[in-house]
Amino acid sequence: MMLVKLLQPNLVLGGPVTLITPDMLEQYYLKGLILDVDETLVPWHHSEVSEQLSDWIEQLKNSPISLCLVSNNLSHERIGSIAKSLDLPYLLGAGKPSRRKLKKALEQMNVPASSVAMVGDRLFTDVLAGNRLGLFTILVEPMVEDNQTHKNWTHWVRNLEIRISRLIGVSFKPQHNFTQVDK
């Protein structure tokens, strides 16, 4: 498969993960989400989930959506406590873009790959791994701390990935851009 196709998200959200709604998942015939953790659900230096995030997870749990966390992070303490507070299954040390732990997640979720989306903030790990496995892929904006005045190195890497991908023809036009109406 051409590299551009492997890096092209099916959906560029243009905002944080919490903008994903059950209606949107239905629109794309999705029955399961594999969720990246660091900077997709929780900012880098945080280990506690926000109320907004746990409300969003609860909303999804009330819909027929199967959920699993798959992180490249090796910290059982960090990822385990986040998963526990959301009451979700999780897999660590995924080494995305490796497909291995994503396949394991699919087995646990018991949903066909064609109805599952890989959701993450990074192209060269989350989107690439999802596309390699033939999943629907959703690129989200990173979850950052409130009042964050400077961007850390992960944002620099993320922006570099986007610049490189744009050069080879990946499109980043947000299909769902939820600009706040009061802005």
Q: Which residues pair with 137 in a beta bridge?
A: 118
- For Mg ion, which stretch binds (CB under 5 A), given 32-40, 98-106, 109-117, 165-173? 32-40
Cβ proximity to Mg ion: between 22 and 43 the closer is: 43
Among 16, 83, 97, 121, binds Mg ion (CB under 5 A): 121
Q: Tokens 């986007």 — which residue?
A: 162
What burial class does residue 89 get, using C-beta atoms within 10 Å of its C-beta: 0-12 exposed, 13-18 middle, 19+ buried?
middle
| Residue 36 touching Mg ion (CB under 5 A) | yes
At its nearest, how many Å lie between Mg ion and the CB of residue 17? 10
| Residue 161 touching Mg ion (CB under 5 A) | no
Region of residue 7 (phi > 0: left; psi between -120 and 50: alpha; otherwise: beta): alpha
Site size toward Mg ion, by CB under 5 A: 5
Tokens representing 34? 């594999």
Task: Catalog residues that contact Mg ion under the rule CB under 5 A.
Answer: 36, 38-40, 121
